[in-house]
Amino acid sequence: MNNIWSDNIQGIKTLYLSRKLRFDDFFYRQYEGLFSLDKSKKLRILEIGCGPGALAEALHRWYPNAEIVAIDRDSNFIEYARKNIAGVEFVEGDATALPFESDSFDVTISNTVCEHIEPAMFYAEQKRVLKNNGVCLVLSARKGVRQPAECLKMTDTEKEFWDRVSDGDNVLEKYAVGKYSMTERELPIVMESNGFANVSTGYAVIDLTPDHPKYPPQMAENMINAERASELEAVQLSKAEATDSVIDRINAKFDSRIELYRKGEKQWDTSTSITMIIRGINVK
């Protein structure tokens, strides 16, 4: 059992809810053009590093003729995905030792995974499991925009809590999070150097701005509540004794944000993410 990521870095709700928004059908057209996959074909698609399953869930909707398989080494993520997501085969395993036969997939896809794995190991296994002329899709988060509403800024109660939470342990360094991060120029070069042809790049800009009138009310409130879940889970992952006042203050400020939204009092807070998509063809 391996729960390193879900117990120390990002919890289930943080990852699932944020990714569910970013891979909402509202944004499908951006991904469709960049993925450039034939929806009519019975593709076999492997998601590597699937977390709690939000992207795999979207792929099942977007490519109804495809067989979707998703793998992650975190036991908590796989358990959650199996219980909550239908139509996808979830497998617990390692991206550097994929438990699949060679030449068994038409497409591999990963989202914010390449940053954490040595590139030669990351791509070698994908080349092995991909068929000749199979498609490799690598999604990598780029620097976006985050501007909180005034009512969502950290309260004094929260500041006092986080000031107390300091054990001298750098979690990101300890678990090599982002150790292999690359620039927008380096990412396609590395894919090419690892044997993929016809490499192309593009960007999906996912604008999560609750007050924008283009979003239906439920989706707008989901944006706000995804942020709520992330802050609450961060307190939990700190492994520090959290007073009820900290939890209460977090919930109170997000309740306030929801109330303002329902009253039509716009705050124009935003979390706009930019995802770079690198696409290559496996030529054997």
Q: What is the pTM of this model?
A: 0.95
Q: Where are the beta strands (DSSP E) in the chain?
A: 44-48, 67-72, 88-92, 105-111, 130-147, 196-208, 270-282
**Alpha-carbon gap, residue 150 to 204, rounded angstroms:** 27
Enter the tokens of residue 40.
């009519």
Least reliable range by pLDDT among 165-174, 201-210, 225-234: 165-174
Mean pLDDT of 258-278: 98
Contacts of 264 (CB under 8 A, 6+ apart): none
Percent of the chain with pLDDT over 90: 87
Residue pair 78/92 in contact by the 8 Å Cβ criterion: yes
Q: Which residue has the higher pLDDT, 78 or 163?
A: 78
Question: What's domain 4-282's superfamily in CATH?
Answer: Vaccinia Virus protein VP39 (3.40.50.150)
User: What pLDDT score does 168 carry?
Assistant: 46
Mean pLDDT of 221-235: 96
Contacts of 29 (CB under 8 A, 6+ apart): none
State CA 79 to chain mean position distance: 17
**Alpha-carbon gap, residue 196 to 280, rounded angstroms:** 5
| pLDDT tens per residue, range 124-158 | 999 999 999 999 999 999 999 999 999 999 999 89
Q: What is the DSSP letter of 106?
A: E
Residue 105's φ and ψ, nearest 5 degrees, are -130, 150
Q: Which residue has the higher pLDDT, 7 or 240?
A: 7
**Alpha-carbon gap, residue 188 to 197, rounded angstroms:** 10
Q: Which residue has the higher pLDDT, 81 or 7?
A: 81
Q: Indicate the pairing of strand 44-48 with strand 67-72.
A: parallel
| pLDDT tens per residue, range 170-193 | 777 788 899 999 999 999 999 999
Residue pair 29/92 in contact by the 8 Å Cβ criterion: no
pLDDT above 80 for 242: no
**Spans of all domains in the chain:** 4-282
